[in-house]
Amino acid sequence: MKMWEGRFSKELDDSVNDFNSSIRFDMRLYKEDIKGSIAHAKMLKKCSVITEAESDRIVQGLNSILEDIESGKLSIDLSAEDIHMFIEQELTVRIGEDGKRLHTARSRNDQICLDMRMYVKSQIKKVRGLIEALLKEICATAVNHTHSVMPGYTHLQRAQPVTYAHYIMAYAQMLKRDINRLDDIYVRTDEMPLGSGALSTTTYPIDRQYVCDELGFSDITANSIDAVSDRDFVIEFCFALSMLMMHLSRFSEEIILWSSSEFAFIELDDAYSTGSSIMPQKKNPDIAELVRGKTARTYGALTTVLTMMKGLPLAYNKDMQEDKEALFDAVDNTVLCISIFTKMFATLKVNTDRMLEAASKGFINATDCADYLVKKGVAFRSAYKIVGRLIKYCIEKSKTLETLTLKEYFDFSDKFDSGVYEAIKLENCVEKRSVFSGPSEASVKAQIASITEFIERG
């Protein structure tokens, strides 16, 4: 029999029961649900809504349920409607009539909001920790590559020389923003909704602040109708995960390109790449491809929760039960992706010779050659034209700016002298870019120090 049996004269059709039930997925909220119920029962005692003895038996019963679920002694009954009903029913089996007092001054509408906020808070912390772990790996790699010259690209065409350290520290900045975004979302998630009841609170003299403090929330929600209808924190979290996945996906795309024979800038560790069933020579970047592919799933979750909410009148509507599978999938997927991505990144080998070779071939010091003329008094636009002609000449003669003779340089401008060779040396092109945020060793070291400090601040 359902808990609403008083009002109904027929059993629910089996198919409706399955359709309506959320236990298959909300069972993962058992810990949050029990902890919330314990705080609620303690508060009911404090406010004399139930007696001390009743409350103590409820708390004891709930603790034993938690223990038994954790130890595997109690398995969750999938025929229950949802995790709230399962725990309440199990409590009543264990302690009898007193179990039926737990739901006083509470509704499943505020209960699920509480569970979800507690869950999102814990997952924000988890994801934050995983991002920090990746940031540490990036910094640890970057310190060893402040002199590893590689081409930087625009339009995927070789553009200007940078270093591998400078390049990967770009991703560190994105991940830092991801952490800041999570921290920001945490503040809004950290509001305690219990006491909102179904939508209009309750006539019992409850103490919401007590529950808030018991459960370690920073604040209580300020409007009961909003509190039970609000899933902004779920949507925001799905967005933060989507953004994080987008960053990992771009990084994955680079890793896929770099591990191709055409680039060969990196080699993936054997433990983090896969072979082909037919082509024996293949070593495939499947992990990076899957991270890129699974990004779509996290976006899917964001689209699901956004769309689910857009037409809902206040306050609670059952549609909102649909937030869980989307959120849980986004969390699981993202946690999985960042964990394995970090290991793949930490073990990949960097082929600095190939990077330097690629950097030496694409005339990526052309800007520096033009800048050299500018320093000799030529206007930048004119210098740009002269170097453009030089490049054309080099291509025709199969030469590079490094291999041109001084006489050849002279034919294009008499402002050139032997100093040009120093000016176009790739290492110098990098080192001279000592502007804050740039690729010079000192600049990149400052970036690494700042990110390291950011992680240590926690």
Residue 147 CB, nearest distance to ligand ARG (Å)? 55
Give the whole-angstrom CA distance, residue 89 versus residue 83: 10
Q: Does 32 bind ligand ARG (CB under 6 A)?
A: no
Contact range with ligand ARG by CB under 6 A, out of 106-114, 239-247, 249-257, 370-378: 106-114
Number of Cβ atoms within 10 Å of the Cβ of 361: 11
Chain position whose Cβ is nearest to ligand ARG: 321
Give the whole-angstrom CA distance, residue 291 versus residue 316: 35
Amino acid at 22: S
Q: Does 163 bind ligand ARG (CB under 6 A)?
A: no
Nearest residue (CB) to ligand ARG, 105 versus 112: 112
Least Cα distance to 248 among 171, 303, 185 occurs for 171
Nearest residue (CB) to ligand ARG, 82 versus 178: 82
Give the angle 375-430-168 at the CA atoms, nearest 5°.
150
Sign of dihedral through CA atoms 114, 119, 120, 126? positive
Known catalytic membership, residue 75: no
In sequence order, what are the residues at sequence separation of 6 or more whose Cβ sits closer than 8 angstroms to the Cβ of residue 187?
A: 218
Q: Which of 9, 71, 79, 155 is catalytic?
A: 155
268-297 positions binding ligand ARG, by CB under 6 A? none
Contact range with ligand ARG by CB under 6 A, out of 315-323, 379-387, 409-417, 418-426: 315-323
Q: Does 212 bind ligand ARG (CB under 6 A)?
A: no
- The site for ligand ARG, by CB under 6 A, has a size of 11
Q: Does 320 bind ligand ARG (CB under 6 A)?
A: yes
Give the whole-angstrom CA distance, residue 390 versus residue 412: 7
Contact range with ligand ARG by CB under 6 A, out of 175-183, 216-224, 316-324, 401-409: 316-324
Contact range with ligand ARG by CB under 6 A, out of 87-95, 105-113, 244-252, 442-450: 105-113
Contact range with ligand ARG by CB under 6 A, out of 104-112, 133-141, 152-160, 289-297: 104-112
Q: Are strands 157-163 and 149-154 parallel, antiparallel or unpaired?
A: antiparallel
Number of helices (H) and strands (E) in the chain: give both, helices first. Answer: 19, 6
Q: In this structure, what DSSP letter does residue 11 have? A: P
Nearest residue (CB) to ligand ARG, 20 versus 284: 20
Nearest residue (CB) to ligand ARG, 321 versus 400: 321
**CB 430, CB 440: distance < 8 Å:** yes
Give the CA count within 13 Å in the CB-facing half-sphere of 446: 10
Q: In this structure, what DSSP letter does residue 114 have? A: H
* CA–CA distances in Å: residue 395 to residues 339, 390, 407: 45, 9, 17
Nearest residue (CB) to ligand ARG, 268 versus 305: 305
Nearest residue (CB) to ligand ARG, 1 versus 435: 1
Residue 133 CB, nearest distance to ligand ARG (Å)? 32
Known catalytic membership, residue 155: yes
Residue 7 CB, nearest distance to ligand ARG (Å)? 14
**CB 213, CB 140: distance < 8 Å:** no
Residue 108 CB, nearest distance to ligand ARG (Å)? 4
Cis peptide before 39 (omega within 30 of 0): no
Pick the binder of ligand ARG from 49, 87, 112, 138 (CB under 6 A): 112
Q: Does 108 bind ligand ARG (CB under 6 A)?
A: yes
What phi and psi, each to the nearest 5 degrees, are found at residue 230? Answer: -85, 125
Pick the binder of ligand ARG from 33, 54, 82, 329 (CB under 6 A): 82
Give the whole-angstrom CA distance, residue 21 versus residue 400: 70
**CB 165, CB 443: distance < 8 Å:** no
Q: Are strands 266-267 and 219-220 parallel, antiparallel or unpaired?
A: unpaired
Give the whole-angstrom CA distance, residue 24 versus residue 167: 44
323-342 positions binding ligand ARG, by CB under 6 A? 324
Q: Does 109 bind ligand ARG (CB under 6 A)?
A: yes
Q: Is residue 185 helix, strand or coil?
A: helix
Q: Which of 48, 260, 276, 434 is catalytic?
A: 276
Pick the binder of ligand ARG from 22, 360, 365, 447 (CB under 6 A): 22
Residue 211 CB, nearest distance to ligand ARG (Å)? 18
Nearest residue (CB) to ligand ARG, 155 versus 318: 318
Pick the binder of ligand ARG from 60, 201, 284, 321 (CB under 6 A): 321
Least Cα distance to 101 among 40, 47, 32, 23 occurs for 40
Nearest residue (CB) to ligand ARG, 45 versus 324: 324
Nearest residue (CB) to ligand ARG, 26 versus 88: 26
Residues that bind ligand ARG (CB under 6 A): 22, 26, 82, 108-109, 112, 316, 318, 320-321, 324
Q: Give the residue numbers annotated as catalytic, written as ranges.
A: 155, 276
